[in-house]
Chain A
Amino acid sequence: DTAVSQTPKYLVTQMGNDKSIKCEQNLGHDTMYWYKQDSKKFLKIMFSYNNKELIINETVPNRFSPKSPDKAHLNLHINSLELGDSAVYFCASSLRGNQPQHFGDGTRLSIL
């Protein structure tokens, strides 16, 4: 049973396109996160949602828009993709905003 699942696992697309990444967790957690891991493997938080409410927005360009239809899902929509958006995006979840956080296996986004 996958605890935090992301789709798709790989995403290859052209610069300027719009794409979405979906995340679902079956752990009963109420807090979900998006992280970006760059080519040097550095992990940085982008957003966190608590019960569908945005809590953290780490100076991410507004081309990135998270959407949480319910507390088990947190999707990431990216408009006008740029070369610098190429990275691995990880979804995570936790209980009541506390630690520990549980991560999905990532979505590798490649911009051509």
Chain B
Amino acid sequence: QQQVKQSPQSLIVQKGGISIINCAYENTAFDYFPWYQQFPGKGPALLIAIRPDVSEKKEGRFTISFNKSAKQFSLHIMDSQPGDSATYFCAAAKQGAQKLVFGQGTRLTINP
């Protein structure tokens, strides 16, 4: 049973464009939603995270949009750059629980 579903599996965006990756979750007890960025040969690194008391969080070119009623959240990368090319994972966790449940990952390619 996949508790966090991520789409698309792969995405190609032109430099300067907006990259959008979507995630949907099932467990309403989840209350922490991070996005991780992974480069080849490296471990996942936290990019940005949100809790359900806000609908949007922005850090530089990266924005998380959160829709609690739809149980969906998304990552928007504005002005996408070739250096953003990586695999992105959404995840979810319950407060106080150590277990992070990951989505399947999205391979993002930014064409110069």
Which residues of A are in contact with B by a Cβ distance under 8 Å? 4, 31, 33, 40-45, 48, 50, 55-56, 58, 90, 92, 94, 97-106
Contact = CB atoms under 8 A, between A and B. Distances in A.
B43 A100 contact: no
A41 B98 contact: no
Contact of B45 (A33, A45, A50, A103): A103
A99 B48 CA distance: 12
B105 A55 contact: no
Contacts of A98: 96
Contacts, number: 55
A100 B46 contact: yes
Interface of B: 32, 34, 36, 41-46, 49, 87, 89, 93, 96-100, 102, 104-105, 107
Contacts of B42: 105-106
A42 B104 contact: yes
B98 A44 contact: no
